[in-house]
Amino acid sequence: MVHARIEETIFYPALENADETRDITLEAFEEHRLVKQLLGELQSMGKDEEEWTAKFTVLKENIEHHVEEEEGEMFTKARKVLSEEDAETLGTRMEKARNEQLKAAAAR
């Protein structure tokens, strides 16, 4: 969830208004929404329920697709949209947010 939150609040907003990255960014937001929905459904089900394994498989496949698309198409397009300075600044912001969120989660 930390990873998704950082992407949704820092990385994707930096890309969603550029023509080259708008469609893939909107798709990524939707993929995150679907993953969260499936996680919620899995948490409310017993692992012994017949549908649990099917939902888990769909979740796994969606995450694998999302990662492939991000690491391939999205990152390639992001390099075209962001300057080196912008990319460096985003990376720093994302790392700081990650550390803060992990620290807050550990304190709970």
Least Cα distance to 32 among 20, 16, 17, 47 occurs for: 16
Mean pLDDT of the 4-18 span: 96
Report the pLDDT value the prediction gives residue 1, as an integer from 0 to 100: 86
- 33 pLDDT more than 90: yes
Average pLDDT, the chain: 95
- Residue 96 belongs to domain spanning: 2-107
Asked whether 11 and 90 are in contact (CB, 8 A), the reply is: yes
Angle at 82 between CA 81 and CA 85, to 5 degrees: 160
Amino acid 10: pLDDT: 97
The structural domain count of the chain equals 1
